[in-house]
Chains A and B, each alone.
Chain A
Amino acid sequence: MQVCIDHVSKKFKKQQVLKDINMKIENNEIFGLIGPSGAGKTTLIRLVIGAIEADNGTIQIGDIQIPSLDALKIIGYMPQNEALYEDLSGYDNLMFFGSMYGMKKAELKKRLQGVLELVELWDASRKKVSTYSGGMKKRLSLAAALIAEPSLLILDEPTVGIDPLLRRKIWEQFRQLKSLGKTIIITTHVMDEAEMCDRVALINNGGIIACDGLDTLLSRTKNHLIEDLFIESEEINP
Chain B
Amino acid sequence: MKTLNIAKRIIRQIINDKRSLALILIAPVFIFTLIYLLLGNSDYKANIAESGLQPQIIEYVENQGITVDTLAVNEGKEQVKDSKIDAFLYNDGNGIRLVFRTYDAVKTGLIQKSIANAMKELSTKSSVQVEYIYGESSGNLFENIGYVMLGIIAFFIIFIIAGVSFVKERTNQTMERLMMTPVRRWQVMLGYTLGFGFFAMLQSIILLAYAIWVLHMTVSGSAVMAGIIMVLLAMSAVCIGSFFSIFSNSEFQMMQFIPIVVIPQIFFSGLISLDTLPYHLGLLSKIMPVYYACSALKNVMIIGGGLSDIWPDLLALFAFILLFSVLNILTLKKYRKI
Contact = CB atoms under 8 A, between A and B. Distances in A.
B286 interface: no
B174 A84 contact: yes
A73 B181 CA distance: 7
Contacts of B84: none
Contact of A97 (B179, B181, B184): B181
A99 B172 CA distance: 21
B337 interface: yes
Contact of A73 (B13, B182, B335): B182
Contact of B13 (A53, A87, A100): A87
Given A88-B9, A100-B182, A101-B182, A128 B177 contact: no
A67 B336 contact: yes
Q: Which one of B13, B182, B338 has the highest number of Cβ atoms from chain A below 10 Å of its Cβ?
A: B182
Q: How large is the interface on A (under 10, 10 to 19, 20 to 34, 35 or more residues)?
A: 20 to 34
A47 to B, nearest CB: 12
A76 B184 CA distance: 17
Contacts of A86: 172
B5 A85 contact: no
B173 A100 contact: no
A67 B180 CA distance: 10
Contact of A51 (B9, B172, B174, B180): B180
Interface string B9-26: 100111011000000000
Contacts of B177: 77, 79, 83
B12 A50 contact: no
A99 B12 contact: no
A51 B16 CA distance: 30
A132 interface: no
Interface residues of B, number: 25
Contact of A72 (B14, B17, B180, B337): B180
Nearest to B337: A67
B16 A69 contact: no
Interface in A67-94: 67-70, 72-73, 75, 77, 79, 81-88, 92
B183 interface: yes
A49 interface: yes
Contacts of B337: 50, 53, 67
A190 B142 CA distance: 68
A230 interface: no
B223 interface: no
B180 A99 contact: no
A92 B12 contact: yes
A68 B338 contact: yes
A102 interface: yes
A96 interface: yes
B176 to A, nearest CB: 6
Which of B2, B13, B173, B181 is packed against the most chain A CB atoms within 10 Å?
B181
Interface string B228-262: 00000000000000000000000000000000000
Contacts of B335: 51
B336 A51 contact: yes
A51 B175 CA distance: 11
B1 A51 contact: no
A87 B9 CA distance: 10
A87 B165 CA distance: 11
A51 B179 contact: yes
B12 A88 contact: yes
A50 B333 CA distance: 11
A142 to B, nearest CB: 13
Contacts of B182: 69-70, 72-73, 100-102
A108 to B, nearest CB: 11
B180 A128 contact: no
A99 B1 contact: yes
B209 interface: no
B129 to A, nearest CB: 55
A75 to B, nearest CB: 7
B125 to A, nearest CB: 55
Given A77-B180, A86-B172, A87-B13, 4 more contacts: A77-B177, A79-B173, A88-B12, A99-B1
27 contacts: A49-B180, A50-B180, A50-B337, A51-B176, A51-B335, A53-B337, A67-B337, A69-B184, A69-B338, A73-B182, A77-B177, A79-B176, A79-B177, A79-B180, A81-B172, A82-B172, A83-B174, A85-B13, A86-B172, A87-B13, A87-B14, A96-B5, A99-B1, A99-B5, A101-B181, A101-B182, A102-B2
5 A-B pairs closest in CB distance? A100-B181, A83-B177, A99-B5, A72-B182, A73-B182
Interface of A: 49-51, 53, 67-70, 72-73, 75, 77, 79, 81-88, 92, 96-97, 99-102, 128
